[in-house]
Amino acid sequence: MFIRRLITSLIVTAIVFVVLFALPAWAFAALITLFIILGLNEFFILIENKEIGVNRKLGIILGVFVAAAAYFDYKIPYNWFFLFIPAICLIIFIVQFAKRDNQAI
């Protein structure tokens, strides 16, 4: 198990270094977005294993949106971006109170 993890980490580290130092910025942003998608997917699988209802697609889409907004230098007005994120979190928080049992948002 250790050898497999070591080999995997060496391969991923090599890919990250190549993308970071040899390819354009959009390739690095795409790689980071891929890591975000994989990480969020694993997180939602862990949450679903605890039998907590989640909306995996919405969570991943919002995660990709935040990454894309950072890559595109916040083309939306700066104040709107930082107003949008807490507003979405507040809406999700409020919707959690209205849902029934383990129902996803």
Instruction: Classify residue 14: in a domain, yes or no.
Output: yes
- With a cut of 60, say whether residue 12 has pLDDT above it: yes
The answer to whether position 105 is within a domain reads: no
**Average pLDDT rounded to a whole number, residues 47-65:** 83
pLDDT number for residue 69? 77
Q: State how far the Cα of 26 lies from the Cα of 60, in Å rounded to an integer.
A: 19
Q: What does the alpha-carbon distance between residue 7 and residue 28 come to, in Å, rounded to a whole number? A: 22
pLDDT at 6: 95
Asked whether 21 and 12 are in contact (CB, 8 A), the reply is no
Copy the structure tokens of residue 35: 């890591």
Q: Give the tens place of pLDDT for each residue, 61-78.
A: 888 888 887 777 766 666
In a domain, 64, yes or no: yes
In a domain, 104, yes or no: no
pLDDT exceeds cutoff 80 at 80: no
What's the predicted TM-score (pTM) here?
0.67
The identity of residue 98, as a single letter, is: A
- To the nearest 10°, report the CA torsion of 89, 40, 71, 81: 0
How high is the pLDDT of residue 58? 81
Mean pLDDT of all residues in the chain? 82
Domain count for the chain, please give it: 1
68 within some domain: yes
In a domain, 16, yes or no: yes
Domain residues for the domain of 47 are 2-98
Name the more confident of 20 and 98. Answer: 20
